[in-house]
Amino acid sequence: MMTVKSSSLGYPRLGEKREWKRALESYWNDGSSKEELLATTKELRLASLQKQADAGIDKIPSGDFSLYDHVLDTSVTLGIVPERFKYTDGEVPLETYFAIARGNKDAVASEMTKWFNTNYHYIVPELDNARPQLTFNRPLFYYNEAKNELGLETKPVILGPISYLKLAKGYEEDQFETLLTALIPVYVQIFAELEAAGVKTVQLDEPYLVLLTDKKELNYYKKSIAAFKEAAPSIQLILQTYFERLDHYEAILELPADGFGIDFVADHGDNLRSLLQFGFPEDKILAAGIIDGRNVWRSNLKDKLALLTLIQANVPAERLIIQPSSSLLHVPITVAHETTFEKTLVNGLAFADEKLHEIVLLTKAVRDGVSSIQTELDDSFEKYTALQKADFRNNQTVEAELTSIQGEEVNRALPYAERILLQHEALNLPLLPTTSIGSFPQSAVVRQKRAAWKKGNLTEADYRSFIKEETERWIDIQEGLDLDVLVHGEFERTDMVEYFGQQLSGFQASTFGWVQSYGSRAVRPPLIFGDIAFEKEMTVEETVYAQSLTEKPVKGMLTAPITILNWSFVRDDITVDKVANQIGLALRKEVLALEKAGIGIIQIDEPALREGLPLKEERWKKYLDASVYAFKLTTAGVKNETQIHTHMCYAEFDDIIDTISALDADVISIETSRSHGDIIEAFEVHTYDKEIGLGVYDIHSPRVPTAEEIKQNISRALQVFPPEQFWINPDCGLKTRHESETIDALKTMVDVTKEIRKAY
């Protein structure tokens, strides 16, 4: 009997205890053979498939697994290997596969960039001189493996040709159609072989459909899908989208796919509105993404059932699939290992496995009636409600303070042009002041001491005094270098978000909550589970100590609200804007405490501002306005004489210069080397009136820059900015560099600056 089905779009690769990461790294570091790597990862892959089957998922994805990245998998499947890796034909060797991702002694790696608005990074395909050909039918391999080893009928996941091309580089826009025409036959062959193997459903991921603006582009989708259907008429082809709403909803639903995967979570309600307004074609399947694939919270299943009722009014159960809103790649695997959390919190979480359970329950409710899941529903709702009602989510003091701060208090007392004069007087810095971005090398010794302290092998007092010694040593070094504005060095911090997360209330670091960031690299975003509140001073002691050692100004150093937000899993029961403001309010207290303790310059880093931009441009303004508000809430309480700095990196900033200016920071430092000077050009057309330091050397390379290079970078910037407005600093923090490199580079930077000053 045809009835509602449950499905999943992709499962995390890492392994519950990061076994995948360890297998890869051990292979790369010559600790294990290729056979061992393939055996371990196969075991993990099969275990994940079996787990999804045991959970009761009807349509289990295969081929979502990867040894590095699924976009790279698509490239090597299609025979798209950059020429420098000297690939000729046949299956792409594993060594070549990893070389594209990581580089080797003869060739640099391909570029890596963010996967849509997630923190996952993919390997950018390079299409220069591409000659697409099927090297190895990877989707078929994974499908057969699941079938033969586990007896499971799975659903191959394939990244579609249009999104693949749009994710790639190395071609001009007018070549798009030619390239697509060259790719389609390769995909057709994949589909034909899948059909011959008995595949029943394919999930064709075309996430770029959510960014479709030009309706004419629908022809590309139409052409490719029609070709696949012709090659594989009996395969049910689900065209999968995620991360946003579909524009041109009706036209998209006319594409010749058998079904459409639509996100009902990250769509701001728009997809549901389209469904209710335009309905759904009678001969198509709706794969409804209704459990959030990007966040970690237990769902309100009653709300989800209500949503399903609305959906079912347009799509009967036999044409409905219930699934997460996106691949579960973006969440940790299971809550089961989080044994240290308090009960209300742990019960309020749902990682990948728990989300699959929710999917299965909802599917059962549609199939057999809500009463068939009544016990589980009540239990889940109770846990959900307990989290919402918890005291830590209902801090009345924070609420009252937030409402009372408005208007004047989020603006500095005097406008920039007037207060900067007072700051000049108070700080008395030379022309073209020199400074660094905050962190100094986290040397092996620093890491050893921290590890020993965490293990209990070093007392708190000894650890603290070590941090102080290291700070003192680096204050001496900075004085020796004759830098103008010093920093304490951030030796007490492992990570710029975690450090604040550990000290503000409302945060929780997870133990096994790892998610893949790129390749084998995993991050463990903290959970913002409750109202954020300031509890105690977080940076005052270290900063004041550093300041006590020198006559020169030492900058206070904080992480700004949006960066904290974008690098965490954020509660979804209140708006993110409100969470940002709670963080802003807490940090405002830290800023004022630093000022009160005599710190005259405070830097609040906002490196992740740009990466949080919504996918759809129409949502940018709201996001940017809210970011500006939270930043000003953090900073605007200080006296006119106190100088507020900020810092940004990891991205190109040329299109958000107005926002950068609206932050109203007195001084900003921006990473410059990675935007290849575009940012300087952007400042030629956009006037920017506040002080600025465009990084004068790249900190990502161990290479010490030459005086000539630094001089050129400064001269270039001084064609755009008058010297009175310009600061001299590296691109970003120096925590990953070695001590000698750091000192040599900074020395060159200061010497060059002194020479340039003479000309004025």
| Binding-site annotation, residues | 18-21, 114, 119, 437-439, 490, 567, 605, 611, 647, 649, 671, 732
Q: Count residues contacting ligand GLN (CB under 6 A)?
A: 13
Judged by beta carbon, residue 311 or residue 649, the one nearer ligand GLN is 649
716: exposed, middle or buried (C-beta count within 10 Å: 0-12, 13-18, 19+)?
middle
Our finding on whether 649 is near Zn ion (CB under 5 A) is yes
Beta pairing partners, 726: 692
Residue with smaller CB distance to Zn ion, 376 or 741: 741
**Can you tell me the distance from the alpha carbon of 243 to that of 327, in angstroms, rounded to the nearest whole number?**
10
Residue pointed to by tokens 């990682």: 351
Residue from 64, 605, 664, 691 touching ligand GLN (CB under 6 A): that is 605
Residue 732 touching ligand GLN (CB under 6 A): yes
* Cα gap 552→86, rounded to integer Å: 55
Q: In angstroms, give the least distance from the CB of 676 to Zn ion.
A: 17
What residue 496 binds from Zn ion, ligand GLN, none (CB within 5 to 8 A, per partner kind)? ligand GLN
Is residue 668 close enough to count as binding ligand GLN by CB under 6 A? Answer: no
Cα 511 from chain centre? 19
CB of residue 219 vs ligand GLN: minimum separation in angstroms? 43
Site string for Zn ion, 398-437 (x = CB under 5 A): ----------------------------------------
With contacts defined by CB under 6 A, name the span among 303-311, 325-333, 339-347, 434-442 that binds ligand GLN.
434-442
Residue 545 C-beta: closest distance to Zn ion, Å: 24
Q: How crowded is residue 347: how many other Cβ atoms within 10 Å of its Cβ?
A: 18
Q: Minimum Å distance from CB 670 to Zn ion?
A: 9
Binding part of the chain for Zn ion, among 147-155, 543-551, 567-575, 725-733 by CB under 5 A, reads: 725-733
Piece of 139-147, 334-342, 589-597, 728-736 that binds ligand GLN (CB under 6 A): 728-736
How many residues make up the chain in this entry? 760
Q: What is the CA radius of gyration of the chain?
A: 27
For position 733 contacting ligand GLN by CB under 6 A, the verdict is yes
Question: Nearer Cβ to ligand GLN, position 137 or 669?
Answer: 669
Phi/psi at 61 (5° precision): -75, 140
Helix (H, G, I), strand (E, B) or coil at 144: helix
Site for ligand GLN in 637-666 (CB under 6 A): 647, 649
Nearer to ligand GLN, 438 or 584 (CB): 438
Q: Select from 504, 550, 551, 555 the least CA-distant residue to 526.
A: 504
- Does 488 contact ligand GLN by CB under 6 A? no
Write down the least CB distance from residue 669 to ligand GLN, Å.
9
From the list Zn ion, ligand GLN, none, pick the one residue 183 interacts with, judged by a Cβ distance below 5 to 8 Å according to partner type. none
The nearer residue to Zn ion, 538 or 560, going by C-beta atoms, is: 560
CA contacts within 13 A on the Cβ side of 382? 7
For residue 136, the minimal CB distance to ligand GLN (Å) is 39
Binding residue ranges for L-methionine: 437-439, 490, 605
Does residue 696 contact residue 713 with C-beta atoms inside 8 Å?
Answer: yes
Residue placing its CB nearer to ligand GLN in the complex, 5 or 610: 610
For ligand GLN, the closer of residues 649 and 680 by Cβ is 649
CA nearest 627: which of 659, 591, 595?
659
- The one-letter code for the residue type at 709 is E
Contact of residue 321 among Zn ion, ligand GLN, none (CB under 5-8 Å per partner type): none
Smallest distance from Zn ion to CB 650, Å: 7
Q: How far is the CB of 433 from ligand GLN (least distance, A)?
A: 17
Binding of ligand GLN by 607 (CB under 6 A): yes
Interface stretch with ligand GLN, choices 71-79, 180-188, 431-439, 520-528 (CB under 6 A): 431-439
Is residue 738 annotated as a catalytic residue, yes or no? no
Q: Which of 146, 238, 486, 496 binds ligand GLN (CB under 6 A)?
A: 496
Distances (CA, A) of 492 to 404, 446, 464, 471, 558: 34, 9, 8, 10, 13
| Nearer residue to ligand GLN within complex by CB, 360 or 694 | 694
Instruction: Report the residue from 168, 437, 483, 515 that binds ligand GLN according to the rule CB under 6 A.
Output: 437
For the record, the structure tokens of 598 come out as 């005599």
Instruction: Please spell the DSSP secondary structure of 47-81, one letter per residue.
Output: HHHHHHHHHT-SBEEES---SS-HHHHHHHHTT--
Q: What does the alpha-carbon distance between residue 139 and residue 172 come to, in Å, rounded to a whole number?
A: 29
The residue type of 511 is T
Residue 717 DSSP SS3: helix
Compute CA distances 457 → 109, 235, 448, 453, 510, whole Å: 40, 60, 11, 6, 23
Closest C-alpha to 368, from 6, 741, 748: 6
156 contacts ligand GLN (rule: CB under 6 A)? no
For 527, the 3-state DSSP assignment is strand
Q: How far apart are CA 331 and CA 342, in angstroms?
A: 20
Show Cβ contacts of residue 504 under 8 Å, excluding neighbours closer than 6 positions: 532, 533, 534, 535, 538, 583, 586
* Helix axis angle, 374-389 to 352-368, nearest 10°: 130
Instruction: Give the whole-angstrom CA distance, residue 719 versus residue 202.
Output: 56
Contact 212, 235 (CB under 8 A): no
- 110 touches ligand GLN (CB under 6 A): no
* CB 734 to ligand GLN: min, Å: 7
Written as six digits, the tokens of 736 are 């990953």
User: How far is 25 from 726, CA to CA, in rounded Å?
Assistant: 43
Using the rule CB under 5 A, give the single segment among 67-75, 285-293, 353-361, 601-609 that binds Zn ion: 601-609
Which is catalytic among the residues 268, 686, 700, 738?
700
438 binds, among ligand GLN, Zn ion, none (CB under 5 to 8 A by kind): ligand GLN
Q: Letter for the amino acid at 25?
A: E
Indicate which of ligand GLN, Zn ion, none lies near residue 593 (CB less than 5 to 8 Å, by partner kind): none
Residue whose C-alpha is closest to residue 679's, from 662, 696, 665: 696
Residue range at the interface with ligand GLN (CB under 6 A); choices 381-389, 503-511, 581-589, 729-737: 729-737
Residue 605 DSSP one-character state: E
Instruction: Answer yes or no: are the C-beta atoms of 681 and 656 closer than 8 Å.
Output: no
Q: Which is nearer to Zn ion, 246 or 732 (CB)?
A: 732
Q: Is 732 in the site for Zn ion (CB under 5 A)?
A: yes
Stretch binding Zn ion (CB under 5 A), from 327-335, 606-614, 672-680, 717-725: 606-614
Binding residues for L-homocysteine: 437-439, 490, 605
Q: Which residue is nearest to ligand GLN (CB)?
A: 733
Does residue 557 touch ligand GLN according to CB under 6 A?
yes
- Give strand ranges (E) for 462-514: 505-508
Site for ligand GLN in 439-468 (CB under 6 A): 439
CA–CA gap between residue 593 and residue 543 (Å, rounded):
11
Binding residues for 5-methyltetrahydropteroyltri-L-glutamate: 18-21, 114, 119, 567, 611
Binding site for ligand GLN (CB under 6 A): 437-439, 490, 496, 557, 605, 607, 647, 649, 732-733, 735
Binding site for Zn ion (CB under 5 A): 607, 649, 732
Catalytically annotated residues = 700
